[in-house]
Amino acid sequence: MKNVLHIISSARGSRSYSQGLSSAIVKKLTDKRLVNTIVERNLAADFPPFIDRALIEVFYKNPGTMSNDDHLLLQYANAILNEIKNADFIVIGTPVHNLGISAPLKAWIDQLIRFGVTYGYHSDGQRTGYLGGKKVFLAIASGGKVSDSDGGSDYTEPYLKSVFNAYTGITDFCTYRIEGTASPDFRENYEEILKNL
Ligand X SMILES: Cc1cc2nc3c(=O)[nH]c(=O)nc-3n(C[C@H](O)[C@H](O)[C@H](O)COP(=O)(O)O)c2cc1C
The piece of 63-71, 90-98, 128-136, 160-168 that touches ligand X (CB under 6 A) is 90-98
State how far the Cα of 117 lies from the Cα of 127, in Å rounded to an integer: 12
Which residues lie below 8 Å from residue 130, measured CB to CB, with a gap of 6+?
A: 117, 118, 119, 120, 168, 169
Cβ of residue 180: shortest distance to ligand X, in angstroms? Answer: 8
Of 17 and 167, the one with the shorter C-beta distance to ligand X is 17
**First-residue to last-residue Cα distance in the chain:** 17
Interaction of residue 45 with ligand X, rule CB under 6 A: no
List the interface residues with ligand X, window 128-147 (CB under 6 A).
141-144
List the interface residues with ligand X, window 11-30 (CB under 6 A).
12, 16-19
Of 19 and 118, the one with the shorter C-beta distance to ligand X is 19
Interaction of residue 72 with ligand X, rule CB under 6 A: no
Interaction of residue 98 with ligand X, rule CB under 6 A: yes
Category of 110 on φ-ψ map: left (φ > 0), alpha (ψ -120 to 50) or beta: alpha
| Chain centroid, CA 73 distance in Å | 22
Q: What angle do CA 127, 131, 134 make, to 5 degrees?
A: 130
Cβ of residue 149: shortest distance to ligand X, in angstroms? Answer: 13
Q: Which of 34, 72, 79, 99 binds ligand X (CB under 6 A)?
A: 99
Q: 115 pairs with which residues across the strands?
A: 119
State how far the Cα of 104 lies from the Cα of 135, in Å rounded to an integer: 21
Q: Which amino acid is at 100?
A: G
Cβ of residue 182: shortest distance to ligand X, in angstroms? Answer: 6
Q: Site residues (CB under 6 A) for ligand X? A: 10, 12, 16-19, 95-99, 141-144, 152, 154, 181-182
